[in-house]
Amino acid sequence: MSRTTCRARLACAALCLVLPGLALGGGRIVPRGVQVNEPGGVGVTIPEANWENTSTGVYATGTRQGAATNWDPITAHELTVTLHCTTDQTKAFKQTERLGPRG
């Protein structure tokens, strides 16, 4: 079986933090605040958020390296991975909200 794998990290802009929102991964292994849109055929795994210490707590600022693999041997598939960010610490993904090892 032929496949293509891409690897990437996601990060919010300087002074921005991850907006936790709802589970946006569509059943995939991704941290809160990460949205995955694709029609099928692509496996997406982003195992964990990156955390940063600030004067008011520990917040997610992006993700660790993840992978997207196209398992279709014949057709290319497009996908979009979006990291939702905010400058409002009261709405940001704080470590006390962390759910298990995947954030």
* pLDDT tens track, the chain, 103 positions: 445 667 777 788 877 877 776 556 667 778 888 888 877 778 888 888 888 888 888 888 888 888 888 888 788 878 888 888 888 888 888 887 555 444 4
Whether this model's pTM surpasses 0.75: no
State which amino acid sits at residue 13: A
- Take residue 76 and report the two structure tokens written for it: 């290319």
Which segments within the chain are labelled E, that is strand? 4-8, 17-18, 34-37, 42-45, 49-54, 57-63, 66-70, 80-83, 85-86
